[in-house]
Structure 1
Amino acid sequence: MSRDGERRLYAAWRNPDGLIRPVGILTRQTIDDGDVYRFVYLKAAEKFDGFRCLPGLPELHDVYESHELFPVFHNRLMPRSRPDYEDFLQRLALDIETDPFGVLIRCEGWRATDRIEVFAHPERTSDGGLTMLFFVRGIRHLDGASEAICELQPGDALELMDEPTNPVNPRALRLRAGSARFVGWVPDCLVDTVHELRELDASVEVS
């Protein structure tokens, strides 16, 4: 979990089969004279067949620090100079004052030209729980999912459904709306975390 003045996100890599796995952690810490960014690879990155280190961060066992957001992450942000930048933030439910790190967490930094993306690190809530933002995956593979999503309202609960027959990941978790229609899947990079929380009898809510 993050300390005061510190935010984190996971860097993830998508393999050719479409599975997404975390490979590193990017941290931004705000100090008196500005921000400090730190990136480290996770040990699990060494086990991913075909994985290559992120551009500009070439060594698996090094610790990288900078006062500027590393280019491999900065280049995933829409330039503020674009005329549609404010509309982009509105679609992400962010305001124009949101800092680049916050935008990166919300938009997940996905690009069609590579296998890299990011997702939010869990953050502690005021009541002692954990919260995490993510985009539902696989909408295009489910008939009626887009229509069901359009009917959802902020705060509507989604039901987690195990899918042991999933051909890609037997631990996959589908999400069902109150309309009894499926709207997508929990991202693969979060599936193990959700299973672990449920095994601990923790309450897991998706909305």
Structure 2
Amino acid sequence: MSTLFVAWQAPDPTRAWFPIGRLDASTDRREYMFRYTHGALHAEAAAGFKPLIAFPDFSRKYQADDLFPLFKNRILEPNRKDFAEYLRWLDLDPAHADPIEILGLTGGERQTDSLEVFPKVRKLADGTIRCRFFLHGLRHVSEAARTRAENLTEGEPLQVAIEVNNPATTYAVQLQTTDCHLIGWAPRYLVDDLRAALLEHSTVSATVHRINRMGAPFARRVLVDLCGGVPAAFEPMTSDEYRVVAE
């Protein structure tokens, strides 16, 4: 199974994010299942979250033999003339474009709602975690840092650091060049797990996987690979807010 989580952002004033749902897809992409997580119940209590129209019951298990429209509508249509370029930005092969992989990389963001999709991070047999994501926040760094980001090269190493006074989220995961330019941040869904790993003195490293320049928006400029060892007893994304309501 491949697994994506769905996060919901509360309205002002908190703008807090909650993981509210889990989408599982079979390996052959012929079976899909959506369930709410306990994060949805936390969001309901803390910020008034209501069930999504497509999935109106917190306690129900939703199953289908095709990708649910809520998710399918967050992927660029293959008949669009810019679809091939879209996949190149993601470093995906057009002949084997997987909607789950696309959603995991793009976040399935839309201007019309407050949802974001992200992949479940799994610990591998060798005790490491590995993930790929687009650098966040490039538009918010200094002009010098943006210039430095434009000159990144594929395979270039990046430094990973925990930020403890981020004005938006308190904790954040910074990505810096080796010459100390803060060029952006890892996605928010990685913060808690990476903070736990780094507090245990684990080694986490990142490299530039791909650079998209001409025509790419800021959110698709720098594709990053991150990997690192985690404590033996540590399993990512297993806290109560990620636990499904309907087992």
With structure 1 as the length reference, what TM-score do the two structures score? 0.86
Q: What runs of 5+ residues in structure 2 fail to find an aligned partner? A: 208-247
Number of the residue aligned with 1:179: 179
CA distance 1:30–1:146, shift in 2 (3 Å): same
Number of the residue aligned with 1:35: 30
CA distance 1:123–1:195, shift in 2 (3 Å): same
The alignment partner of 1:163 has SS state of strand
CA distance in 2, matches of 1:166, 1:152: 25
Number of the residue aligned with 2:63: 65
CA distance in 2, matches of 1:20, 1:189: 9
Q: 2:20 aligns with which of 5, 17, 23?
A: 23
CA distance in 2, matches of 1:44, 1:181: 35
Query: If each structure's strand is expressed as a fraction of its own residues, which one has the higher value?
Result: 2
CA distance 1:150–1:55, shift in 2 (3 Å): farther
The alignment partner of 2:166 has SS state of coil
| Percentage identity across paired residues of the two chains | 31
Counterpart contact for 2:162–2:195, Cα < 8 Å: no
* 1:14 matches 2:9: yes
Q: Map of 1:157-176 to 2, 5 A cutoff?
A: 157-176=157-176
Give the Å deviation of 1:126: 6.7
Amino acid at match of 1:89: L
CA distance 1:19–1:155, shift in 2 (3 Å): farther
Q: Map of 1:150-161 to 2, 5 A cutoff?
A: 150-161=150-161
Counterpart contact for 2:21–2:40, Cα < 8 Å: yes
Give the Å deviation of 1:130: 1.7
Q: 2:74 aligns with which of 58, 76, 91?
A: 76
Counterpart contact for 1:20–1:189, Cα < 8 Å: no
Amino acid at match of 1:135: F
CA distance 1:102–1:124, shift in 2 (3 Å): same
Give the Å deviation of 1:18: 4.4
Give the Å deviation of 1:165: 2.4
CA distance in 2, matches of 1:122, 1:202: 16
Aligned residues: 200
CA distance in 1, matches of 2:188, 2:130: 17
